[in-house]
Amino acid sequence: MFRASYTATTKFKYIAQTIAKLTDEAPFYATLDALEVRILSPDKTTLTIVKIPSIAFEEYEVDEEKFFVVSSDELNKIVKRGTRNDILIFELDEEKNQLKIIFRNKKTGIERSFVVETKPRTMEKIPEPQLELGVTARFVADDYKHIIRDLKIIGEEAIFQYKDGKLYIMSHTQQKEYRGEFSEGNPLTYLSATVDQARAKYSVGLLETTLKPVQASKFVTISFDTDKPIKIEFEVAEGGYIIYWIVPRVE
């Protein structure tokens, strides 16, 4: 059995929107420690991990690891019906192949319930990369959003570079150029490096796909290293997070 109740209903809306933007089918893994979704893009350039630890839920019950897949579009449409006054509840019925989604009003106790069919799929949990990345920087989420949108105006490729204790993000074409210089406190809330220099290139289009969770997060942490994937982590309500791993462009 699997049952969980989550009080940050409005934040889960952004999670559901993120999932729906990435895939038609949402694969959920309910373990003793967390509820997760892992999605690898068809071209294998981006791995997205949504993880909400069990302690973030008001109630979390699972007797053993469960795997179920639902339509991400149906999930998104239903979750949109929740309000800030609702507690979001998930109940998995394995016999009926259904996921029940319940909204319980915190003030009145009135419940609204929806049922989504689970799809018969084989469990293939994609492992998260285990890489040592030499540079880590923490942005205010809105600052990160503006940087990515600035890059989009210029070109298709973004260069991330660390040197002399600063982070540089750049893009250029024949007639246009963007260059951002960032240091701890201006405007980064944190900057750390275990290497003297690092440089990598990434697709601006892929970076743009990471903007959906900005509305649900105050901060974004990025980690990268020379010619290695970039890790982009959004902190969401109640201890959850959304992570994107994006492959580099290597010449």
Burial of 85 per CB tally in 10 Å (0-12, 13-18, 19+) = middle
In the chain, alpha helices (H): 9-22, 72-79, 141-154, 204-208
- DSSP secondary structure string, 227-251? TS-EEEEEE-GGG-EEEEEEPPB--
| Cα(240)–Cα(191) distance, integer angstroms | 22
135-246 and 2-117 share a CATH fold: yes
Residue found under tokens 């020379």: 226
H or E element at residue 161: strand 157-163
Question: What is the pLDDT at residue 141?
Answer: 95
Tokens of 13: 């809306």
> What CATH number matches the domain at 2-117, 3.60.15.10, 2.60.120.620, 3.70.10.10, 3.40.50.970?
3.70.10.10
Closest CA to 147 of 161, 176, 168, 166: 168
Q: What is the pLDDT of residues 174-195, one digit of tens each?
A: 889 999 999 999 999 999 999 9
- Segments of the chain with pLDDT less than 70: none
**Which tokens go with 26?**
């949402």
DSSP SS3 for 195: coil
Q: What is the pLDDT of residue 238?
A: 72
pLDDT of residue 129: 95
Per-residue pLDDT, 162: 98
Q: Report which DSSP code applies to 16.
A: H
For domain 135-246, the CATH class is: alpha beta
Domain boundaries, the chain: 2-117, 135-246
C-alpha to C-alpha distance for 217 and 232, rounded to whole angstroms: 12
Are the CB atoms for 8 and 237 separated by under 8 Å? yes
